[in-house]
Amino acid sequence: MACGRKISGRRAILAAILGNTLEWYDFAVYGFMATILAGHFFPADDEVTSLLAAFAAFGVGFAARPLGAFVIGRLADRKGRKFSLMITIQLMALGTVIIGLAPTYETIGLLAPLLIVLARLIQGFSAGGEWGGSTAFIVEWAGENRRGLTGSLQQISVAAGLLLGSGCAALLSTILEEDILTTWGWRVPFLLGGLIGLVGIYIRRSVDETPVFQQSIATNHRDTDLRKNSIEPAARAFGFTVHWTVSYYIFLAYMPTFTIRHLGLDRSVALWSNTVGLLALMVVAPIAGYWSDKIGRKPLLLASCLTIGILVYPILNYLLTNPSVAAIICAQVLFGCLIALYSGPGPAAISEIFHTSYRATGMSVGYSLAVAVFGGFAPFIATWLIEITGSPISPAYYVLLAALVTALVILRLPESAHRPLK
């Protein structure tokens, strides 16, 4: 029986990871094609205004995440984690295909940007439920002393999705002529996303529900007053996520745009260096997750906040004064490793804040609100800060503030690495 459960657990975790990877490829590829999408769907008199509009649409997807987090999170806590994950992957594939097939502004006028906004709303609604559902699913399947390591696989799958998106965009930028890429080649990653979404649906159909959730249902261990019991933990999850999401989306989503516009490097260099940074995160995250099972979550979480907060200004300043391929690659690798210190133990740590009966809802809502406010609009905020200050280094202050906020939250959290799930 134990052996069968172990095999089922491995199969379920693998299915969640693969499905999550495909989900986040679909969601993130927009960011890597933003400079091209800006011209097709948000034309304006100047490049900055067009780019701001494109990043605003990017942020709209994040604004929809809290609603998706609540609706799909509630379904995950009532109907099961598997049930919710089947819904999210279908919605994400739909939103991605809409972008890939959307006529441009030149063809249908204002309907074009409206279609993009609609697609991002669908994607954001899906992503809001996906993160909490998949994190709860993976952590609940993990052994008591392996939640950090196993939970880090969730972040690896998110990074893998971003990596697929970044790698696909980089490959197309390398093999296609610029006019072909900007004319029709940009559609390829989105149409591929729709196709691979079908693969994710097939993978997730065959997995079992988590034993922790089944036990919760069997014992009818549900709080009747969800709001009373989950608001405070959700607020903690919100603060816990601020540094995580800002650093992630500044350094691993906005950075290609920063590299192109302010370092003067070409698109393929910007995208390949971003891809290398994502690879670094994927390598270091499970190591950080493993050590969090040994020494606790808080030392690694605080180390990420402090090191990124201290280093962001001098590193961005160096890049601006010494722009080179080697410098941007080293910076992307370093930030990828520092984010991994947080992303490794992060999924387990945030899951351990909540009780099983409202884990998916509370975690999804707290996380998604922070991502919507601070992360999704991070590229927009970075572009806006540079525009109003005239200084390309101004996003460093945003990153530093986020690190300080989250460090204060972590200091007030109890160490949960060696406690059983509630």
Segments making up each domain of the chain, as ranges = 10-215+225-412
User: Taking a C-beta distance cutoff of 8 angstroms, is the pair 238, 366 a contact?
Assistant: yes
390 Ramachandran zone, left/alpha/beta (phi>0; psi -120 to 50): left
Token pair in block for residue 52: 């701001």
Token pair in block for residue 94: 């739909």
Q: Show pLDDT as tens, one digit a residue, over the chain (422 residues).
A: 455 455 566 777 877 787 778 777 877 788 778 778 888 888 876 677 777 777 777 777 777 888 888 898 888 888 888 888 888 888 888 888 999 999 988 889 889 888 988 998 998 898 888 877 888 888 887 777 788 898 898 888 887 887 788 788 878 888 888 888 888 888 998 888 877 777 777 777 777 777 777 776 666 555 555 445 667 888 899 999 999 999 988 998 788 888 888 888 887 888 888 888 888 999 999 999 999 999 999 999 999 999 999 999 999 999 999 889 899 999 999 999 999 999 999 999 998 888 877 788 888 888 888 988 888 778 888 888 998 998 999 999 999 999 999 999 999 998 987 887 76
Task: Please tell me the distance from the alpha carbon of residue 151 to that of residue 342, in angstroms, as a whole number.
Answer: 12
What integer pLDDT is reported at residue 337 of this predicted model?
Answer: 96
CA angle 203, 368, 276 (to 5 degrees): 65
Contacts of 75 (CB under 8 A, 6+ apart): 83, 84, 87, 129
| Nearest residue to 15 (alpha-carbon basis) of 273, 201, 283, 294 | 201
Contacts of 37 (CB under 8 A, 6+ apart): 30, 54, 57, 116, 186
Q: Which residue has the tokens 């996003």?
A: 395
User: Taking a C-beta distance cutoff of 8 angstroms, is the pair 42, 26 a contact?
Assistant: no
Q: CA–CA distance from 73 to each of 64, 135, 198, 385 (Å)?
A: 14, 11, 22, 34
Q: Specify the 3-state DSSP secondary structure of 22.
A: helix
CATH numeric code, 10-215+225-412: 1.20.1250.20
Size of the chain, expressed as the number of residues it contains: 422
What integer pLDDT is reported at residue 46 of this predicted model?
Answer: 67
User: Taking a C-beta distance cutoff of 8 angstroms, is the pair 32, 169 a contact?
Assistant: yes
Task: Please tell me the distance from the alpha carbon of residue 344 to that of residue 252, in angstroms, as a whole number.
Answer: 16
Sign of the dihedral defined by the CA atoms of residues 61, 67, 71, 72, in that order: positive
Q: Which residue has the tokens 């080179």?
A: 324
Token pair in block for residue 16: 């969640």
Task: Please tell me the distance from the alpha carbon of residue 59 to that of residue 373, in angstroms, as a whole number.
Answer: 9
Looking at this protein, which amino acid is placed at residue 66?
Answer: P
Task: Please tell me the distance from the alpha carbon of residue 280 to that of residue 275, in angstroms, as a whole number.
Answer: 9
What integer pLDDT is reported at residue 1 of this predicted model?
Answer: 43
Tell me how far the alpha carbon of residue 209 is from its chain's centroid.
Answer: 24
User: Taking a C-beta distance cutoff of 8 angstroms, is the pair 107, 177 a contact?
Assistant: no
- Strand ranges in 184-343 using DSSP code E only, listed in sequence order: none
| Nearest residue to 146 (alpha-carbon basis) of 355, 357, 418 | 418
Token pair in block for residue 234: 């959700």
User: Taking a C-beta distance cutoff of 8 angstroms, is the pair 258, 267 a contact?
Assistant: no
Backbone angles phi, psi at 380, to 5 degrees: -65, -45
Task: Please tell me the distance from the alpha carbon of residue 394 to that of residue 11, in angstroms, as a whole number.
Answer: 45
Query: HSE (CB half, 13 Å, CA atoms) of 139?
Result: 33
With both helix axes pointing from N to C terminus, report the angle between 111-141 and 47-63 in degrees, rounded to the nearest 10.
40
Token pair in block for residue 93: 């594939």
pTM of the complete model? 0.79
Token pair in block for residue 272: 């390949």
Task: Please tell me the distance from the alpha carbon of residue 98 to that of residue 104, in angstroms, as a whole number.
Answer: 12
Task: Please tell me the distance from the alpha carbon of residue 16 to that of residue 207, in angstroms, as a whole number.
Answer: 9
